[in-house]
């Protein structure tokens, strides 16, 4: 049984399964005099990286200047089977922090141009544990998990995912933003997954605490304000003999919403709204390869798309749609380089929009385009020039042109 692959999938590991766009495999700090390999052979692996961003609004938006910021991500996976404790039991621990500044509030758009620079807590640079997740594989086809988990690795897509550090930077291409009001970023939860032939989850279900608890352990807040649930079905496809996936999912949260709140994954003022509960969202995404390298099945390029509808009474976004292209550079000598180009439109809620208008002026639908090229400069360093054109939902804000560069170091 491919237990290590199952663990990466179910524990929502940092790299996107099957995307071929993970970070470089040779870290800057090397093998620690053989200790890194020794620990891995005995069930303990580390994936530490630091992403640095230098971005600026060069035209339009609210403010036109460049800012520097970044994010540290420190993931440890433990295989208790290799340690001789319990076969099929795994632990994933993620500690993360942000530092510096970001331009998310300068563009005038509600969707952050660089979501990673705002996580895990927008107004703090402290180190937080956002994952302490235990996974028990009960068979080759079924596993259960419980603990504290972050949800950014959900809504998996081969060409538009990557946590904002290996592919696109804008949250509109990292995940489906219609889910952000319904599903907390980091909180306590449990669930199960049905696995496919390659160890990837085909169907998964999660029961979560209804509010984000990235700052705390979450036990004192557990189910105090209700519960959230999410389920996904992700099926592999082989149209014209080329790999792809079709994903459908739904999420629901029954806590009472009385304000827009402060969520680092979206840029909105914390203003009161009419009390409501039972937020929901239904979503879909697909990825489809159009070309696969005949010499390396892990390399190729293709198309992707996302769509969603959500509760207008609670969610500022009533619907969402995106499409794009992405994958590896097919040119010789650039096999490790990746690229992406995408477009999205975010439909504003007819219920929440008028409330926001009293504070920010006329509200319409938001649009965005992002282009990136991810160059593997060294085995431990990826450098990514990035361009975004963002037409904010705020109709009194001019379209923002965002230029920047991202550098991710694997430690």
Taking only the tens place, the pLDDT of each residue in 71-87 is 999 999 999 999 999 99
pLDDT, mean of residues 295-302: 89
pLDDT, mean of residues 248-258: 90
Contact 102, 91 (CB under 8 A): no
pLDDT of residue 25: 67
Strand partners, 150: 186
pLDDT of residue 67: 97
Q: Which helix (H) or strand (E) holds 144?
A: strand 142-150
Other Cβ atoms closer than 10 A to 269: 10
CA–CA distance, 311 with 180 (Å, rounded to integer): 12
- Residue 206: pLDDT band with limits 50, 70, 90: very high
In the chain, the percentage of residues whose pLDDT exceeds 70 is: 94
Q: What is the pLDDT of residues 119-168, one digit of tens each?
A: 999 889 999 999 999 999 999 999 999 999 999 988 999 999 999 999 99
CA–CA distance, 328 with 42 (Å, rounded to integer): 33
pLDDT of residue 2: 45
Contact 157, 168 (CB under 8 A): no
Residue predicted with more confidence, 358 or 9: 358
**3-410 belongs to which homologous superfamily?**
Carbohydrate-selective porin OprB (2.40.160.180)
Residue 231 has pLDDT above 60, yes or no: yes
The answer to whether the predicted template modeling score (pTM) of the entire model surpasses 0.85 is yes
Which of 328-337, 368-377, 392-401 has the least mean pLDDT? 328-337
pLDDT of residue 18: 31
Q: What is the pLDDT of residues 343-377, one digit of tens each?
A: 999 999 887 778 888 888 899 999 999 999 999 99
Contact 135, 147 (CB under 8 A): no
Q: Which helix (H) or strand (E) holds 171?
A: helix 171-174
| One-character DSSP codes across 182-193 | TS-SEEEEEEEE
Which residues, 6+ apart, have CB-to-CB distance to 237 below 8 Å? 243, 244, 245, 246, 288
CA–CA distance, 32 with 46 (Å, rounded to integer): 12
Contact 154, 230 (CB under 8 A): yes
Q: What is the pLDDT of residues 33-43, one digit of tens each?
A: 999 999 999 99
pLDDT, mean of residues 245-261: 89
83-89 own/partner pairs: CB under 8 Å, 24+ apart: 83/42, 83/43, 83/44, 86/136, 88/3, 88/136, 88/137, 88/138, 88/143, 89/134, 89/135, 89/136, 89/137
Which residues, 6+ apart, have CB-to-CB distance to 353 below 8 Å? 316, 363
CA–CA distance, 72 with 99 (Å, rounded to integer): 8
Which residues, 6+ apart, have CB-to-CB distance to 33 below 8 Å? none
pLDDT of residue 10: 47
Burial of 306: CB neighbours in 10 Å, binned 0-12, 13-18, 19+: buried
């Amino acid at each position: 049984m491919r237990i290590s692959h199952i663990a990466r999938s179910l524990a929502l590991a940092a790299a996107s399964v099957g995307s071929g766009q993970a970070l470089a495999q040779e870290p800057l700090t090397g093998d620690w005099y053989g200790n890194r390999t020794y620990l891995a052979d005995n069930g303990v692996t580390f994936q530490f990286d630091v992403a640095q961003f230098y971005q600026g609004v060069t035209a339009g938006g609210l403010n036109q200047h460049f800012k520097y910021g970044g994010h540290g991500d420190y993931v440890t996976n433990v295989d208790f089977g290799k340690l001789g404790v319990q076969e099929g039991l795994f632990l994933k621990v993620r500690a993360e922090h942000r530092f510096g500044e970001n331009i998310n509030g300068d563009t005038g758009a509600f969707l952050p141009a660089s979501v990673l620079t705002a996580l895990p807590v927008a107004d703090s640079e402290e180190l937080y544990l956002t994952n302490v997740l235990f996974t028990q594989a009960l068979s080759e086809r079924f596993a259960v998990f419980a603990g504290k988990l972050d949800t950014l690795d959900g809504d998996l897509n081969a060409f538009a995912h990557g946590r904002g550090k290996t592919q696109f930077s804008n949250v509109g291409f990292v995940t489906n933003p219609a889910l952000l009001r319904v599903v907390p970023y980091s909180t306590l939860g449990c669930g199960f997954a049905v696995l496919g032939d390659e160890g990837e989850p085909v169907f998964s279900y999660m029961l979560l605490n209804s509010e984000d608890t990235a700052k705390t352990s979450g036990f004192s807040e557990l189910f105090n304000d209700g519960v959230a649930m999410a389920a996904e079905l992700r099926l592999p496809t082989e149209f014209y003999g080329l790999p792809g996936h079709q994903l459908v999912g739904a999420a629901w949260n029954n806590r009472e919403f009385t304000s827009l709140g402060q969520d680092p994954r979206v840029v909105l003022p914390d203003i009161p709204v009419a009390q409501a509960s039972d937020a929901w969202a239904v979503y879909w995404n697909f990825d489809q390869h159009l070309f696969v390298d005949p010499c390396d099945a892990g390399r190729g390029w293709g198309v992707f798309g996302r769509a969603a509808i959500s509760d207008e009474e609670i969610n500022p976004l009533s619907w969402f749609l995106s499409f794009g292209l992405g994958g590896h550079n097919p040119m010789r000598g650039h096999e490790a380089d990746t690229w992406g180009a995408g477009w999205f439109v975010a439909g504003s809620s007819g219920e929440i929009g008028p409330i926001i208008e009293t504070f920010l002026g006329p509200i319409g639908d938001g649009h965005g385009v992002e282009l990136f090229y991810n160059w593997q400069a060294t085995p431990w360093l990826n450098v990514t020039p990035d361009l975004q054109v963002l037409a904010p939902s705020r109709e009194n804000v001019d379209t923002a042109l965002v230029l920047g560069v991202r550098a991710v170091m694997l430690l």
